[in-house]
Amino acid sequence: MADPFADLRSPLTPLAPRREFAAQLRRRLEAEVRGTDPDPPSSGAPPVSITAMHPHLITRDAAAAIRFYVDGFGATEKYRLDMPDGRIGHAELRIGDFELHLGDEFPEQGFLAPGEGIPPVSLTLIVSDAAAVLDQAVAAGADVERPLAEEFYGALTAVVRDPAGHRWLIQQFIRDMSPAEMQAAMNEGDEG
């Protein structure tokens, strides 16, 4: 009679926990490290793990936008996918430690660039030298919406609009402040 446990004893057959058990164990261990509830109240949706978030900008001229981000913010282009009609379907850039995705408009799919009004999204760059990054962005074609100034929350901040119409905040934190200190500083500014 054949041994029904032979496969379990074979050194070539690794044993692995069920996928559900492994995911539950990982979730519990991560929650313990964070000091949070491993079983928060359910929203009814299955649990998911978000591993990254990448802004995706829609532009009218993705090639020009890429040149601006490289020249203005020191981005590096990871790759781009060119469509047969000449549009850039997708491009990925690195700015510091972060990834930015962008592409040309595809009105037939509902992907449109910002209009003449206010951009729907603002992006923030945290930098070590806001004046230098602001100068670099302006030299590459950005329009200054707000010049560099010290803000109540402890940062030097400038606001620019890139040639594709997207708004960027360039920030250099010069002082650590708690949320309570920021709130108090904001309230003082409202009174003055």
| pLDDT score at 153 | 87
Task: Check residue 115 and give its pLDDT.
Answer: 80
pLDDT in tens, 12-35: 444 555 667 667 777 777 777 777
* pLDDT tens figures, 134-176: 999 999 999 999 999 999 889 999 999 999 889 898 999 999 9
192: confidence class by pLDDT, cuts 50, 70, 90: very low
Mind listing the domains of the chain with CATH numbers? 56-187 (3.10.180.10)
Task: Label residues 154-173 b or e (16+ Cβ within 10 Å = b).
Answer: bbbbbbbbbbbbbbbbbbbb
| Alpha-carbon gap, residue 123 to 47, rounded angstroms | 28
Cβ burial, residue 58 (10 Å; 0-12/13-18/19+):
buried
Which pTM was predicted?
A: 0.61
